[in-house]
Amino acid sequence: MAGGFIEKGSSEKNYPGKLTFRVFITCVTAAFGGLIFGYDLGISGGVTSMDPFLKKFFPDVYAKEHNIKPTDNQYCKFDSQVLTLFTSSLYLAALVASIFASKVTRAFGRRLTMISGGVLFLAGAALNGFAQQVWMLIVGRMLLGFGIGCANQSVPIYVSEVAPYKYRGALNMLFQLAITIGIFVANILNYLFAKMENGEGWRYSLGLAGVPAIMIIIGAMFLPESPNSLIERGQAEKAKEELIKIRGTDDVDEEFKDLVAASEASKQVKHPWSSLLKSEYRPHLTMAIAIPFFQQLTGMNVITFYAPVLFKTIGFGGTASLMSAMITGGCNALATLVSIFTVDKVGRRKLFLEGGAQMFICQLVIAAAIGSKFGTDGNPGVLPKWFALTVVVFICIYVAGFAWSWGPLGWLVPSEIFPLEVRSAAQSVNVSVNMIFTFAVAQVFTAMLCHMKFGLFIFFAFFVIVMSIFIYKFLPETKGVPIEEISLVWENHPYWNKFVKSSAQKNKTAAPDSQV
C-alpha cells in the first residue's frame, strides 16, 4: 500500500500555526474563482435546452426536437456540431489561457492572474448576454474560457500555498465547493428564467455570469500574496510578515527557512517546462496528465453540461429536465461538503477509491435502466414515473460519488504535489489536459450519445475501473504532509522512488561541493 510509509515523512516536520480567521477568509475569497467555472458548467446545458435559444441560434436542432424535421432516433435529436461548439469552445480557450497564465503567475503573483481571469470572464458574460449572432456566442464563450483558464491555474496553487498543511485538503476543496455552488445556482436560474414569457430568459442566464466574475475581481484585489510567491519574487521580508499573519504565530522560522530553501532551489530551474521532462519529475508529470485526463472520463462533465439535454432526451419535459438538473446540482454541492470534512482525516486515496466504486455501480445501473426502456431506437413510448425517479436517484448517487472523490481531489492532489520550481508549469499542464479533454468530451458527447446510445454509460464505467486501478497502484497518500516536504512521498514510494531517489541523492552530494 502506498499510504503506509507517509507518516514517517510527515512527522519530520510539524510547523506551528493554526487555522486563523484571516487564512480562512483568504481561502474562501480565493475560492470564488471556482464560482465562474461552476456557473458556466451549469448554465450552458440549461440554456441549450431552452426552446427560444435553440430557435434563434440553432434552428435545425429546434426543428428536430419539435418534429418539424423528424429524426428516427431519440438519442440523436441534439446531435449538432455547431451546438456543441457553443459549449466546448470555452475549454479550448481555457487551454490556451492556462499556458500563458503560468508565466504571469510565476512572474507577477497569483492575485494578478485571478483578477485577469475575472475581467476576461466579465467581458465574455456581457457579450453572451447581448448576443445576436452565433459568432457572438462563440467569441463570448472564448473570453469566458480565457477567464476560467486564468482562475483554474492560479486559485488551487494559491490556496495550497496559503493553507496550513493540516487543513490544506479541506481548504483547497473550497474551490471545488465553489464550483458545485456555481453549478447549483446556474441550475436554479435556468429553471426560473426558462419560464419567462418573452423568451429572453436565456439572456439573463448567460449575462448573470458577470456576477461571479465581479466577485473574484473585487475579492482578489483584497487578497494578500502567498508567502511562496513573495519569496519567489525576491520579497523575503514581506513574505515572513505575511506568513506570521496567516499562521497566527511568530514561530514561523522553520517553515520560512524551508520556503526560502525551496525558492532557492526553484531559481536553479531556468526552464520549468523543459525541466518537467527530467526523470526526477516523472511522477509529477504523470499525475499532472493522468488525473485530469481520468477526471473527464468519469463522465461527470457530460452529466453537468448536458443534464437538461440528457433528461429531455430520455423523456422528461423541458421544465422537468431543468428541475432534475437542479436536483443533481444540489446533490453535487452537498456531497462536496462530505469531502471537505473527511479528506484530511481519511486521506485522498480512500476517497478516490470509494468514489470510483460508487460511480461504477451507478453507471451500470443507469445503462441498464435506459437500455431496457429505450433499446437502440430511442423511442420508449410513455415513461412511467417510477422509471424517471429511478434514473434521477441513481444519477444523484453517481454525482455524490464524484463530488466527494474525483471532483475535488482532481484539483487538490495536483496542486499539492508539485515542487515550487515547476509548480506553475505543472499546474498549467494539469489545467491544459483538463481543458483538452473537457473540450473533446463536450464536442463529441452528443455524437457519442447518438451512436453509442445507452452504451455511453458503459464506456465511462470502463474508464472508472481503469482510473481506480491507477490510483491504487501509483498515487501515494499526501494527507498531513507539508507542501515543502512533499518530495518524501515520492522518495518512499515503491514504484516512483526509482525516478526521484537518484535526484535526491545527487542534491545531497552536490551540497558539500557547493560549500567548498
d(CA 256, CA 262): 10
d(CA 100, CA 103): 6
Residue written as cell 512572474? 107
* pLDDT of amino acid 375: 67
* Contact of 155 with 8, CB cutoff 8 Å: no
Burial code (b: 16+ CB inside 10 Å, e: under 16) for 27-50 equals: bebbbbbbbbbbbbbbbbbbbbbb
How many H-runs (helices) and E-runs (strands) does the chain carry?
Answer: 25, 0
* Contact of 126 with 214, CB cutoff 8 Å: no
Across the chain, which distance is largest between two alpha carbons, in Å? Answer: 83
Burial code (b: 16+ CB inside 10 Å, e: under 16) for 434-470 equals: bbbbbbebbbebbebbbeebbebbeebbebbeebbeb
Residue 109: CB partners within 8 Å, gap ≥ 6?
225, 226, 229, 230, 233
d(CA 385, CA 400): 23
Task: Enter the C-alpha cell of residue 223.
Answer: 487578497
How many Cβ atoms from other residues are within 10 Å of residue 364's Cβ? Answer: 15
* Contact of 176 with 295, CB cutoff 8 Å: no
Task: Enter the C-alpha cell of residue 376.
Answer: 437502440
* pLDDT of amino acid 268: 72
Task: Enter the C-alpha cell of residue 377.
Answer: 431506437
* pLDDT of amino acid 440: 82
Three-class HEC string of 195-207: CCCCCCHHHHHHH
- Length in residues, the chain: 516
* pLDDT of amino acid 441: 79
With 0.85 as the threshold, say if the pTM is over it: no
* pLDDT of amino acid 425: 81
Q: Among residues 46, 294, 320, which one has the least CA distance to residue 187?
A: 46
* Contact of 155 with 222, CB cutoff 8 Å: no
d(CA 289, CA 121): 26
Q: Which amino acid is at 467?
A: M
* pLDDT of amino acid 291: 94
* Contact of 142 with 122, CB cutoff 8 Å: no
* pLDDT of amino acid 10: 42
How many Cβ atoms from other residues are within 10 Å of residue 19's Cβ? Answer: 17
User: What residues does each domain of the chain span?
Assistant: 21-502
CATH class of the 21-502 domain in this structure = mainly alpha
Locate all alpha helices (DSSP H) within 268-317, ordered by sequence: 272-275, 282-296, 300-313
* Contact of 142 with 123, CB cutoff 8 Å: no
Residue 61: CB partners within 8 Å, gap ≥ 6?
54, 77, 78, 80, 83
d(CA 174, CA 412): 10
Burial code (b: 16+ CB inside 10 Å, e: under 16) for 54-73 equals: bebbbeebbbbbeeeeebeb
> Helix (H, G, I), strand (E, B), or coil: what is residue 367?
helix
- Per-residue model confidence as pLDDT tens for the chain (516 residues): 333 333 333 445 677 777 888 888 888 888 888 888 889 888 887 888 788 998 898 888 778 766 665 555 555 655 566 777 777 788 889 888 888 888 888 788 888 999 999 999 999 999 999 999 989 998 999 999 999 989 888 888 888 888 888 888 888 888 888 888 998 899 889 888 988 888 899 999 999 999 999 999 998 998 888 898 899 888 999 999 999 988 888 888 888 998 888 788 777 766 777 888 888 888 989 999 999 999 989 988 666 655 555 566 555 655 666 677 778 888 888 998 999 889 988 999 999 999 999 999 998 998 888 788 766 666 666 667 777 778 788 888 999 999 999 988 998 888 888 887 787 788 888 888 888 888 887 777 767 777 787 788 899 999 999 999 999 999 999 888 887 778 888 888 899 988 885 544 545 544 444 443
Locate all alpha helices (DSSP H) within 79-167, ordered by sequence: 81-108, 110-129, 134-162
Give the dihedral of Cα atoms 420, 422, 424, 425; nearest 10 deg: 180
d(CA 47, CA 312): 13
Residue written as cell 483554474? 152
